[in-house]
Amino acid sequence: MIEDASGCRVDVWLWRARFFKTRTLAAHFVDESRVRLTRSGQETRLDKPSRTVKVGDNLVFAVGGKLTAVRVEALGERRGPPAEARGLYSPLQIT
């Protein structure tokens, strides 16, 4: 899959960062508008898996009954081991 260097599909990024076991589960999660994106101070609810995320974006979503807030630090090239996946994001404090 060839992607623009400045962005990555949100479902692909969530899968690469290992928040979901399959890309299909990630896409279904985004389809249900359960992910909020904050970019340049503008918060939006993502409604399509094809929406792009960029380095520096903040994502907030609930998985497994736990609210997760992360900053996108890298887009990644593949779905690698967990240590590599943790390098794609940094956790944020939820206020």
Number of domains into which the chain is organized: 1
The answer to the question of residue 51 being in a domain is yes
Contact between 85 and 16 under an 8 Å Cβ cutoff? The reply is yes
Task: State pLDDT tens for residues 53-92.
Answer: 999 999 999 988 899 999 999 999 999 999 999 999 999 9
Question: Mean pLDDT over all residues of the chain?
Answer: 92
For residue 66, what are the domain limits? 8-91
Run of H or E residues at 77: none
Cα 57 to Cα 55: distance, rounded to the nearest angstrom = 6
**CATH number of the structural domain spanning residue 56:** 3.10.290.10
Assessment of whether the complete model's pTM goes beyond 0.75 = yes
